[in-house]
Amino acid sequence: MFKLFLAARYVLSRRVSYLGMAAIAVAVGALIVVVSVMNGFLNETRTLVRGTTADVIVTPVQDTAHGQPAPRQALEEVTRAQPGVIGAVARLIRPAIVKVYDSSTLILNLSQFADLSFVTALGIDVEAEKPVSGLELYLHQVEDASRRVADPAKPFAFERGRIRDPRLRTSGLPRCLVGEDRMETLGLRPGDALMLVTMSDKQDITSETIKPSTQTFVIAGAFRTNHHPFDMASVFVERDAFLDWTGTTTEVSELYVRVDDGLDPAIVRDSLQASLDNAGLDAQVETWQDRHRVYLGAVENERTILGVVLSLFVLLTCTITFSMLTMMVQEKIRDIGILSAMGAPAAGIGAIFATAGATIAAGGALLGLLAGGSVARNVDTVKDWIEHTFHIQIFRRDVYAFTTIPSVVDDRLNWTIAGVTVAFALVICMLPALRAARLDPVDALRHD
Amino acid sequence: MTELASGTVERIPAPPSAGAAGAAIVLHATNLQRRYRMGQEVIEVLRGLDLVLRSGESVAVMGRSGAGKSTLLHLMGLLDRPDAGSLQIDGVETSRLSRARRARLRNRNVGFVFQFYHLLPELNALENVMLPLMIQHGTLAWPGQRGAARRQAHALLDELGLADRARHRPAKLSGGERQRVAIARALVGQPRLLLCDEPTGNLDERTSETIADQLFALAARHGHSLVLVTHDRELAARADRRLLLHDGHLGAA
């Protein structure tokens, strides 16, 4: 009993013990907050990326040197017959340069529009998209009601009379859907016109003169996926208009495939790849994670690096316990002699100091667990308070494309962090504790 | 000494020569030797010292500084090991006992009173007195023993006139009060042997006299054997026997 009793007294009677606890609490709390936010960030990023990417993507090989690309119908048949596949829809994809109709400048390589110059034009079949992709959701998510399409069931429908430029009202121009973020940036509204410039399939790209293929589209409305890079760089156009504009003979650029929710897309990917190979269809199959592995990998890597750095910080603060305990043993050499004279066993004397170290570490870890968990759970409230109090911006929505700081609190992981902290502190506290246990009682009694 | 495999310690009977006076032998040192090495030089502090101490007996050990009085006290209190010779406490041969067993034997059979009190500053008087009992009882047993231990410690403090100082920390006590707390702490486990190292050496004359009165009275009342190491002839005169430690041997003072 004396071990616990004296350990508690030694810890409680020293102010430096509370300082040690506070240091460990700050380190553990910071690690918990950072890991929670990074987990939230990763989850949110995955959700956003996944929201704009098919579960599985089938890309037919377009290299004509290897023969004609796989036909759309065959690809769709094999894919839809694959177990676990809910639906598949063909999309046509083409990079393009954007020019606002009637503006004097082509938005190309101007520094202020550097990231606005190029878009990916997606040629889609609206009816086929509905059961497979999230197009309808993207249309509903538009925040500015005046930029929404008139009828989400027919998103490309737009009354001629509402076209801004009267000259275009009679021309029967095709419609397009533009990301809300891009529309905001360019100051565009539904009814404005946009020119998309690309290169025709009929061109020989090795020739000295390349004739661009240009088409003016009327903006029928906006879409919002909340995945900022996608919203800035994508324009939906109708499939037929896409074919007219580009003059392409390609039937499918990508097959957008949706699989059962409970199924691992990687399993479907492997089996679908095998089925396509068996059918003699030359196509590459990848999951949404494969498609974005560099982007997601970067976020994961960032989380890992921050976790490692802060873990080292936690371990460093544990060494404070070691220093405090070493000083405590030095201060208490006489006490150790007295306890020996009263019959305290050496192991018991060592246990006093090990318990004191563990108490400091456990107290700090517990405080850090509670404080870190609380902050992680209310990270936006804390952010608002800091921003309001100190007049600083610590979270930029335009950078991360999130409206709030995401945070996923993993209690099991947090308890593990606290447990490992205490275990590490206990291990390094063994050294001063062993020193205390091994002190010669006579030398200890004579110590000044 | 016989140490059983089961972990118990077999008590051997007191030597026939020592039991003649009737009272049981509490401490029996035979040919006790202790030397220290200081660089190349070996200093023989105790050179075959013999001592028999019976239950309830008090012995004063005197000698000049450096004669080895404290060394002898540390050996008798099992804080140190002799280089040669035998030391039995309450019939148990101690020289080959493990450190843990010596600690247990010390806790149950030996009480120390030091010149400089050696109280733990973080604990109040009552807690200091209870500490040997805390050491004696394990963590699980302590809740059941705490009440009795508290009463025992209170009774001793009361006997020493410190009932109203039980909650005071050592820093708030006078020298005499601290030494009385130290005496209570030494006696609380009801040890057979009480070892006192200059118990009045740090006190004024009047307080010394009071402390000595109380020490001898308590030892007599509770039947403790007492070994006093002192330079104080008046204090030594109160003991049943006075011995002089000289040249590593004990002789009559």
Give B223-239 pLDDT, tens digit per residue.
899 999 998 888 999 99
Position B14 pLDDT exceeds 50: no
pLDDT at B85: 93
Q: Would you state the pLDDT for residue A67?
A: 62
Q: What is the pTM of this model?
A: 0.73
Contact A343 B136 (CB under 8 A): yes
What is the distance of C-alpha A230 from the center of its chain? 14
A84 and A228 fall within a common domain: yes
In a domain, A111, yes or no: yes
Distance separating alpha carbons of residues A368 and A382, to the nearest angstrom: 16
- Chain A residues whose CB is inside 8 A of the B128 CB are none
CA distance A107 to A197: 11
User: For A376-432, how does the pLDDT look when each residue is reduced to its tens digit (9 = 90+)?
Assistant: 999 999 989 998 999 888 887 666 667 788 899 999 999 999 999 999 998 999 999
Residue A135's pLDDT is 87
Q: Work out the average pLDDT over A357-373.
A: 94
Cα separation, B227 vs A32, whole angstroms:
61
pLDDT, one tens digit per residue, over A174-231 is: 999 999 988 988 888 999 998 898 887 666 666 667 778 889 999 999 999 888 888 8
Helix (H) or strand (E) run with residue B163 in it: none
| End-to-end Cα, chain B, rounded Å | 31
Interface contact A344-B108, CB threshold 8 A: no
In a domain, A291, yes or no: no
Among the partner-chain residues A1, A337, A343, the one whose CB lies closest to the CB of B103 is A343
A346 with A313, same domain: the answer is yes
Q: Looking at residue A63, what is its pLDDT?
A: 63
d(CA B96, nearest CA chain A) in Å: 16
Do A21 and A125 share a domain, yes or no?
Answer: no
A1, A5, A441 ranked by CB distance to B79: nearest: A441
Range of the domain at A190: 56-286
Domain boundaries, chain B: 2-252
pLDDT, tens only, B155-188: 999 989 999 999 999 999 999 999 999 999 999 9
- B interface residues, A as partner, C-beta within 8 Å: 74, 77, 79-80, 99-100, 103-108, 110, 112, 114, 118-120, 122-123, 131-132, 134-139, 141-142, 185, 189
Pair (A234, A319) in one structural domain:
no
Q: What is the CA radius of gyration of chain B?
A: 18
Same domain (yes/no): A382, A399 = yes
Contact A6 B185 (CB under 8 A): no
The predicted structure's pLDDT at residue B18: 37
The residue-averaged pLDDT of A255-259 equals 91
pLDDT band at A117 (very low <50, low <70, confident <90, very high): low
First to last CA, chain A: 28
Residue of A4, A10, A346 with shortest CB distance to B122 = A10
Count CA atoms within 13 Å of residue B191 on its CB side.
32
Nearest CA among A329, A345, A357 for reference residue A444: A329
State which of A286, A312, A332 marks the end of a domain: A286
Residues A72, A221, single domain; the answer is yes
User: Where is the domain boundary, A255, A286, A317?
Assistant: A286
What pLDDT shows up at residue B5?
35
Fold of the domain built from segment(s) B2-252 = Rossmann fold (3.40.50)
Question: Do residues A229 and A314 both lie within one domain?
Answer: no
Strand partners for A120:
A95, A234
* Residue A208: per-residue pLDDT: 67
CB contact under 8 A, A346 and B80: no
Contacts of A434 in chain B (CB under 8 A): none
CB–CB of A343 and B132 under 8 A?
A: yes
Co-location of A268 and A140 in the same domain: yes
Tokens 């005499």 belong to B176
Say whether A1 and B131 touch across the interface (CB within 8 A).
no
Q: pLDDT value at position A33?
A: 94
Q: What was the pLDDT predicted at A278?
A: 92
Select the more confidently predicted residue: A107 or B134. Answer: B134
Specify whether A387 is located in the same domain as A239.
no
Residues of B in contact with A334 (CB under 8 A): 118
Residues A376 and A255 placed together within one structural domain of the fold:
no
- What is the rounded average pLDDT of the residues A324-350? 93
Provide the pLDDT for residue A448: 72
pLDDT tens per residue, range A271-328: 999 999 998 888 999 998 898 888 888 888 988 898 898 889 888 888 888 888 999 9
Question: Which of A1, A11, A13 would best serve as a mutation to test chain B binding (most B beta carbons within 10 A)?
Answer: A1
pLDDT digits (tens, 9 = 90+) for A128-184: 888 888 888 899 999 999 999 999 999 999 988 889 888 888 878 999 999 998 898
pLDDT tens digits, one per residue of B30-56 = 999 999 988 888 889 999 999 999 999
Q: A343 vs B79: CB contact, 8 Å cut-off?
A: no
Closest Cα to residue A196, out of A340, A96, A74, A112? A96
- Residues 6 or more apart from B192 whose CB is under 8 A from it? B26, B55, B89, B90, B109, B110, B224, B225
Residue A189 is predicted with a pLDDT of: 92
Do residues A43 and A64 share a domain? no
Examine the pLDDT at A72 and tell me if it is beyond 90.
Answer: no
Q: Which residues of A294-330 are buried (b: 16+ CB within 10 A; e: fewer)?
A: eebeebeeebeebbeebbebbeebbebbbebbbebbe
The lowest-confidence range among A33-47, A368-382, B69-83 is: A33-47
Domain boundary residue among A251, A267, A286?
A286
Flag whether residue A10 sits within 8 Å of chain B, measured between CB atoms.
yes
* Cα A82 to Cα A207: distance, rounded to the nearest angstrom: 43
What does the pLDDT average to over A223-249? Answer: 89
Torsion of CA B172, B177, B178, B181, to 10 degrees: -120
Q: What is the pLDDT of residue A66?
A: 59
Cα separations (Å) of A158 from A148, A162, A191, A354, B108? Answer: 11, 7, 8, 76, 99
CB-nearest partner of B106 from A5, A13, A343: A343
Please check whether residue A203 lies inside any domain of the structure.
Answer: yes
Q: Please state, in angstroms and rounded to a whole number, the distance separating the CA atoms of residues B177 and B181.
A: 6
Instruction: Tell me the chain A residues in contact with residue B123 when contact means C-beta distances shorter than 8 Å.
Output: 9
In this predicted structure, the answer to whether residue B4 has a pLDDT above a threshold of 50 is no
Q: Is the ipTM of this complex over 0.90?
A: no
Asked whether residue A65 falls in the same domain as residue A144, the answer is yes
pLDDT (average), residues A7-34: 92
Average pLDDT over chain A reads 87
Q: Does A346 lie at the interface with B, CB-CB under 8 angstroms?
A: yes
Residues of chain B contacting residue A3, judged by C-beta atoms under 8 Å apart: 139
What six digits make up the tokens of B109? 């059979």
Q: How many domains does chain A have?
A: 2
